Chain A
Amino acid sequence: MSTSTFLFHYGQYVAYAAAWLIHSAYIGSLFRRYHRLRDEAKELHSGTK
């Protein structure tokens, strides 16, 4: 099956998966940044005590 034929039949699912892969990657990056900041804040708090 050529790429065109495959996408003609399943393109909507591929696009949907791609869209949510991008959103998931971004939300994942937000979580990572949040945890890093929270650790930094904790470290700062314990350092100033």
Chain B
Amino acid sequence: MKRAFPILAVLTALFLAYALYQSLVVAPTDALQGDVYRIIYYHVPSAWTAFLLFFVNFIASVQYLANAKPSTKQAAKWIVIIVGVVGAVAPFIPQVRDLLPAGLYPSSVATTILAVPVFYFLIGKFFPGQDLDVLAVTTAEVGVVFCTIVLVTGPIWARPVWGIWWAPGDIRLTSTLVLWLIYVSYLVLRRFSDSAQTQKLAAVLAIFGALDVPLVYFSIWFFRTQHPQPVIGGGGSIDPRMLHVLLISWMAFLCFAFLVCWSRYRLEKLRRAVEEAYALASLQGAEDVARGVTTSSVSLNGSAR
């Protein structure tokens, strides 16, 4: 494992360099926007990566809360299975399919919903007990970093193209900002609260935060926004060469996010181990003091006899 990290880091760096070359040199120039559109190759992959990380955070938080009691653990397991089965079938039922916005394929919806049980059981298998909480804080923090990049790179594109840095009232922009604020408050809560209930409170907050993710994603499908309408799926007409570069870029960002999450996860484990060692040491110290007091009181008793 110790050797795997540097090897993966080098491979990821090479992959990121390749993605950068594709983004800035190989991808064709947009006929209307010129080269500034190339921001899409970091803006969109960062957004997708942030969504994925918040999704993992959501699953880990739900599981952390559900595992508190055996009965809720069992119930959650069945609810997740039912969600998966219903979600895989429902989008293909004509009445439900008609509710989907034009261009949103039932297979995409089914696949996305099927990810819930798949992630739930995989995360439950590989992150038992407190590791779920470690995973939750890891993905929230790295997700916030990616979401920050989305919020910073968006206005850099908007200024020359829209003529304004920010479109107040635009639901895509506002919901993304709200999402960022929710996860920042999640991190602030974890950082500054000493209560024994912090982990549970943070898990509940994470669930509310995750509810904003579909709103952010689907806002451009259901509402008229200043933000561009979908260009991938949904009747969007992105050039296949641009789509190719976009996907390469996302893969590179995903590899990078994985490495950062790995580091952050190890750091959190180390932090908890050090905290535990401090607690044990102070307990040991208290015990030694108590033992010293008892010994002296015994000798005093002895001398008094």
Whether, in the assembled complex, B14 has its beta carbon less than 8 Å from a beta carbon of chain A, the answer is no
In the bound complex, residues from chain A placing their C-beta under 8 Å from that of B160 are 4-5, 7-8, 11
Total chain B interface residues with beta-carbon distance under 8 A: 37
Would you list which residues of chain A between 10 and 46 have a CB under 8 Å from chain B?
11-12, 14-16, 18-19, 22-23, 26-27, 30, 33-34, 37-38, 40-41, 44
**A12-B39 in contact (CB<8A):** yes
**Contacts of B16-54 to chain A: CB distance below 8 A:** 20, 23-24, 34-39, 42-43, 46
The residue in chain A whose Cβ has the minimal distance to the Cβ of B273 is A41
Bound together, the chains give a CA A34 to CA B278 distance in angstroms of 17
| Shortest beta-carbon distance from A39 to chain B in Å | 10
Chain A residues with CB under 8 Å of B224's CB are: none
With CB as the reference atom, state the residue of chain B lying closest to A21: B152
Contact check: which of B42, B159, B267 meets A7 at CB < 8 Å? B159
A18 engages B159 (CB within 8 Å) = no
Residue on A with the closest CB to B160? A8
- Max chain B C-beta neighbours (<10 A), residue from A7, A12, A22, A23: A12
Residues of chain B with a CB closer than 8 A to A27's CB: 260, 263
- The yes or no answer to B102 lying at the interface (CB within 8 A) is no
Contact A37 B42 (CB under 8 A): no
User: B156 to chain A: which residues have CB within 8 Å?
Assistant: 7, 11, 14-15, 18
- Which residue of chain A lies nearest to B153 when distances are taken between CB atoms in the complex? A15
Complex CA distance for A16 and B38, rounded to whole angstroms? 10
Chain A residues with a Cβ closer than 8 Å to the other chain, count: 27
Can you name the residue of chain A whose Cβ is closest to the Cβ of B156? A15
Closest Cβ–Cβ distance, residue B263 to chain A (whole Å): 6
B263–A30 CB distance below 8 A: yes
Fill in one digit per residue for B122-152: 1 if any A CB lies within 8 Å of its CB, else 0.
0000000000000000000010010011001
Complex Cα distance A14/B152, Å? 10
Do B267 and A33 have beta carbons less than 8 Å apart? Answer: yes
B163 at the interface (CB under 8 A from A): yes
Q: Does A11 lie within 8 Å of B157, measured CB to CB?
A: yes
Q: With A15-B157, A44-B277 as known contacts, state yes or no: A26 contacts B260, CB within 8 Å.
A: yes
Residues A12 and B152 in contact in the complex (CB < 8 Å), given A22-B145, A44-B278: no
Say yes or no: A18-B152 contact (C-beta < 8 A), given A4-B160, A7-B159: yes
Residues B267 and A12 in contact, CB atoms below 8 Å apart: no
A16 touching B36, Cβ below 8 Å: no
Q: Check A12 against B35 for contact (C-beta < 8 Å).
A: yes
Give the chain A neighbours of B43 by CB distance below 8 A: 15
B188 beta carbon closer than 8 Å to chain A = no
The 5 closest A-B pairs by CB, nearest first: A8-B160, A12-B38, A11-B36, A15-B153, A7-B160
9 contacts between A and B (CB under 8 A): A4-B160, A11-B160, A14-B156, A15-B156, A23-B145, A23-B149, A26-B142, A40-B274, A48-B284
Having A12-B38, A15-B152, A41-B273, one finds 8 other A-B pairs with CB under 8 Å, namely A7-B159, A15-B42, A16-B20, A18-B152, A19-B42, A26-B260, A27-B263, A40-B278
